[in-house]
Amino acid sequence: MGVLIVKPLILKMTKICFGYPGGPMILDHLNFHLHAEDRIGLVAPNGSGKTTLFHVAMGLLKPISGTIEAFGKIRESEKDFFEVRRRIGLLFQDADDQLFSPTVLDDVAFGPLNLGKSKEEAMAVAEETLDFLGLSGFEDRVTHKLSGGEKRLVSLATILAMEPEVLLLDEPSTGLDAATKEKLIDILTSLELSIVLISHEYDFLSQTARHIYTMDKGRILFDHELHIHSHQHAHLMGSQPHRHV
């Protein structure tokens, strides 16, 4: 029997319940563990609480009950989450929610400046990040005039510029063309971070995630049938995502 190496636990959510007043429970005694270097894909129907899960983890939404432990500490108050937000980056579903500054450089430098970096340092980090994502020359572009794919990559840059240890990506591949998707996959696989991805695209997940979880009735399920595997076979429409039962 080999030695089992357990990576440090980054995020541990225990018995989290969340729902809006008068509505059903969106998260119902949910348990979720994230270890360093994990790459988890979350696939679940719309409205099953994936985005809510992310927002609870970042402290944007307060759970009705349950505990959130991040980086070894229980996080409850708004203040507790400052550190969490510095170390975990959340990519929003809609890039327009993320990019609020007039120009790309302003937006990418916003996070580093908030972390107390000087102007020069912030600009340097911003330019380095843009460069890494192949977006050099975008500094003075106006954010609301970027194309959808550009907006997504710039949003990613705004998060990476904060040098997080974990990325929570809310449908990063939705609405991207094949080339931009390829680029995003290359970027994500080259990053040495823990990543949790929400996506509806198995193709995308199979190239970026190592485990796939699904959600049902406000809880996370480890779906054994969804294990990623590869085998070769041919049939009609074989290039489309499909399952073999």
Among 86, 183, 211, 219, contact with another protein (rule: CB under 8 A):
86
Residues 122-141, mask of contacts with another protein (x by CB under 8 A): xx------------------
Report how far residue 9's alpha carbon sits from residue 136's, in angstroms, rounded to the nearest whole number: 35
Closer CB to another protein, 102 or 241, in the complex: 102
- Quick check: 204 binds another protein (CB under 8 A)? no
- Quick check: 159 binds another protein (CB under 8 A)? yes
Among 62, 73, 119, 210, contact with another protein (rule: CB under 8 A):
119
Name the token pair of 115: 């972390």
Give the pairing type, strands 73-74 and 219-222: unpaired
Name the token pair of 196: 């949790």
Cβ-based neighbours of 93, under 8 Å, separated by 6 or more: 51, 170, 171, 174
**Min CB(115)–another protein separation in Å:** 6
- Quick check: 174 binds another protein (CB under 8 A)? no
Report how far residue 1's alpha carbon sits from residue 65's, in angstroms, rounded to the nearest whole number: 40
């997080």: which residue's tokens? 164
CB atoms within 10 A of CB 81: 18
Closer CB to another protein, 68 or 205, in the complex: 68
């939404």: which residue's tokens? 61
Closer CB to another protein, 145 or 229, in the complex: 145
Nearest to 173 by CA among 78, 43, 49, 68: 43
Give the orientation angle of helix 148-160 with respect to helix 178-190, to 10 degrees. 10
**Min CB(222)–another protein separation in Å:** 27
Q: Considering CB under 8 A, how many residues would be counted as binding another protein?
A: 33
Question: What residues from 24 to 63 belong to the interface with another protein (CB under 8 A)?
Answer: 55, 58, 60
Report how far residue 242's alpha carbon sits from residue 222's, in angstroms, rounded to the nearest whole number: 19
Q: Among 27-35, 85-93, 127-135, 215-223, which window interacts with another protein (CB under 8 A)?
A: 85-93
Nearest to 195 by CA among 44, 56, 10: 10
Question: What residues from 87 to 116 belong to the interface with another protein (CB under 8 A)?
Answer: 89-90, 92, 94, 96-98, 100-103, 105-106, 109-111, 113-115
Site residues (vs another protein, CB under 8 A): 55, 58, 60, 82, 85-86, 89-90, 92, 94, 96-98, 100-103, 105-106, 109-111, 113-115, 119, 122-123, 143-144, 158-159, 162
